Structure 1
Amino acid sequence: MGIIKKILIALILIIAVVLIAAAIMPKDYAVEREITINKPVDSVFSYVRSLKNQNEFSVWANLDPKMKSTYTGTDGAVGSISAWESEVKDVGVGEQEITKITEGKRIDFALRFKEPMNDTAVGFMSTESASGNQTKVKWGISGVMPYPMNIMLPMMKMDQMIGNDLQKGLENLKAKMEN
């Protein structure tokens, strides 16, 4: 057997192992962070339900001061959309749409990324009364990494990568709300 044939067989085996591993690996990711804010739940909820306000504390929106933002629909209502365009790779092009509101408790949204890659995710922000006049705010994002790209999920460290930005955004929110 020639050397080229051996190399081709080895490459086929490596590709087969990667594809089989990707088939049995998880495809879903979910990242959540929370913070307690020294403000009553109604004032925190009414602030975070606004997509314009979310751009005030979001780490991603603040990465590019030249980012172009457009809003459609009634801000803070189901169906309202915040779209962004940026030449900064970590911001890119996409939009966020409010898909459901549980009054005073939770906002669900769809995230549609167009650049640098085409992808979708879902997210939420929830508020819950804590002791005294405090509010516990949770922010979460989840999605699906398609096969065979999901083979990279463990290496991407989504919890750390997205989680750090969510935590910083919540810290920004806390600072804004408490000042």
Structure 2
Amino acid sequence: MIRIFEMLVALFIVFVLAVLVGLALPSHGHVERSVQIPSPVRQVYDTVNTFRRFPQYSGLRAFDPAMQSTLSGPESGVGAKISWTSQSPKVGNGSLTVTKSTSDSDVTMTLDNDWIGDNKTYTITLTPAANGRTVKVTESYDADYGWNLLWRYGGLYINGEPSAIVQTTLASLSAMMAGFPNTDYTNQEIRIAEITAKPLFLVSTKAERSLDAVEEATIAAREKIDAALKKAGLTAAGPQMTITTEWGESDYTFAVAVPVDQPSFTLGGSTFTIDAPAPKPEDDSDSNGEPKPLATGERDNKGLLVVEGDVRAMLGYQGQALYTEFTGSAAQLPLFRLNQKAYAETHGYRYSEAGLGRPWDENISAPDAAADAQTFRVYLPITR
């Protein structure tokens, strides 16, 4: 009987000690990790201020690559939300919601899952280096344990899964952003525009990467288009477009296009409808590999409708595109195009640069505008 009493007393003492130790443990858990990312601060902010790229860089993927996620709320900023389901006990089901967002500074997200604690949050803080070339990205995880002693004891292991996920997330974020164009679009206004398909006459061409060579090729292509428009009884119905095919190291491959006022044209007594490029299974080359001459109404190897000579017709792009406008020199166009690609990457928009997905720009300058005071509209087709 005495031994039972002694055992009960010992258990009571252990219980009291456990309670006292639990009361002495922190009522709040905090862990943070940092990484240096060599990207403009706006790029980093835009990437973490939306969940569109989150499934690609989240540390949760390291535990379960097959986890399923769903986006809801606004695309970015306060209210943006991602929910996930997973068969892995380390990931489970949960959600993150942006509750605070300060441009180029910090983003706070509330976490809802089965981890211990209340008021669970992730906070990402951005600190640009003095030289402006790198950004210190600090991600912290916080949870309140209150008077729940079991949670306080569980907080001793906060450097386990929460810490590992934070560390993996930062490493994956850095690796992903290394593939983005390293350009700062902070001062460039970029928005999404809805584009309606327009019938176009166009000529594909190529020039050295110099303003004079591109201008010379553009003028030659426009002359061919104008001559074809006159024969077809059509008129230009919008600004001249430059559709980029490839921006090479030494050459620029592109097409000069002009919107036309009718969806069809008549040549040689036959009427032809301008439609979207149609795949063509047969090859246009002859037995010697030389291009075969094509008649009006036939399709070339890109599926474009032949008008005459080098002039083709097609129905242009329809859908959403990133849009920006600027006034300056045509020499600035490559930078603005690159900025749009970087913007698409950080916001999780897809672009292909193939087929009708190729970027283009429109010169809407006055005829007497100086070379360094041209006005351009720049477009990059995207899918969301």
**CA offset at residue 120 of structure 1?**
4.6
Question: 1 or 2 for the larger relative contact order (CA 8 Å, sep ≥6)?
Answer: 1
Change (3 A) 1:39 1:133: same
Deviations 1:98-151 (A, max 9, x none): 00111121111100113x768551111122221232222111111123421113
Return 5+ residue gaps in structure 1 as ranges. Answer: none
Instruction: Work out whether residues 113 and 119 of structure 1, in 8 Å CA contact, stay in contact via their aligned partners in 2.
Output: no
Q: Give the aligned residue type for 1:177.
A: M
Aligned counterparts of 1:70 and 1:35: Cα–Cα separation in 2: 27
Report the count of equivalent residues.
Answer: 176
1:57 alignment partner AA: Y
State the distance in 2 between where 1:26 and 1:173 align: 31
Residue by residue over 1:1-20, the C-alpha shift from the partner in whole angstroms, topping out at 9 and shown as x without a partner, is 52222211211111111012
Which residue does the alignment assign to 1:108?
108
Instruction: Compute the TM-score of the two structures, normalised by the length of structure 1.
Output: 0.88
Structure 1 equivalent of residue 69 of structure 2: 69
Whether 1:125 aligns to 2:124 is yes
Q: 2:155 aligns with which of 147, 150, 153?
A: 153
| Cα distance in 1, alignment partners of residues 160 and 89 from structure 2 | 19
Take 2:33 and 2:47, find their aligned partners in 1: how far apart are those partners?
A: 18
Alignment-mate amino acid for residue 141 of structure 1: Y
Describe how 1:5-154 pairs up with structure 2 within 5 A: 5-114=5-114, 120-130=119-129, 131-146=131-146, 147-149=148-150, 150-154=152-156
Shift of 1:164: 3.4
Q: Deviations over 1:55-105 (max 9, x none)?
A: 211111342232121111012221121111111011011111100111121
Distance in 2 (alpha carbons) for counterparts of 1:172 and 1:133 = 19
For 1:164, the equivalent position in structure 2 comes to 164
C-alpha distance in structure 1 between counterparts of 2:99 and 2:74, whole Å:
13
Contact 1:105 1:127 in 2 (8 A): yes
Q: Which residue of 2 aligns with 1:178?
A: 178
- Kept in 2, the 8 Å contact 1:105–1:128? The answer is yes
Amino acid of the structure 1 residue aligned with 2:127:
E
Query: Could you say what secondary structure the match of 1:82 adopts?
Result: strand
**Counterpart contact for 2:117–2:144, Cα < 8 Å:** no
In the aligned structure 2, how far is the partner of 1:94 from the partner of 1:118? Answer: 14
> Alignment identity in percent?
24
Query: In structure 2, how many angstroms separate the alpha carbons of the residues matched to 1:117 and 1:31?
Result: 14
More helix by share: 1
- TM-score by length of structure 2 reads 0.43
